[in-house]
């Protein structure tokens, strides 16, 4: 069980760092928001497992931000032209 928790934490950290780097690259912002989305989900699992409710709330807001970014950079233009 501890290994699974550490794995979730690692996924959250690595995809969060990747998201920041991708978002900083002008050609790849959509991929950055995708990486952040994975990171947000991992941190939500991690914080819920450890009952870190303030971190959980923060990640909920970040998740909405990631979804909004994906909409603006990828899904919106794809659907709306």
Tens of pLDDT, residues 29-70 = 889 999 999 999 999 999 999 999 999 999 999 999 999 999
Give residue 37's pLDDT.
96
Give residue 1's pLDDT.
56
- The tokens for 24 are 């900083």
Q: DSSP state, 25? A: S
pLDDT band at 28, cuts 50/70/90?
confident
CA distance 44 to 2: 16
């Amino acid at each position: 069980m501890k290994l699974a928790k550490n794995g979730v934490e690692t996924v959250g950290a690595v995809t969060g760092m990747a998201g920041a780097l991708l978002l900083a690259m002008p050609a790849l912002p959509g991929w950055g928001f995708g990486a952040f989305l994975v990171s947000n989900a991992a941190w939500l699992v991690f914080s819920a497992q450890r009952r870190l409710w303030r971190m959980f709330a923060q990640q909920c807001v970040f998740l909405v931000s990631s979804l909004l970014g994906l909409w603006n950079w990828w899904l919106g233009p794809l659907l709306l032209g």
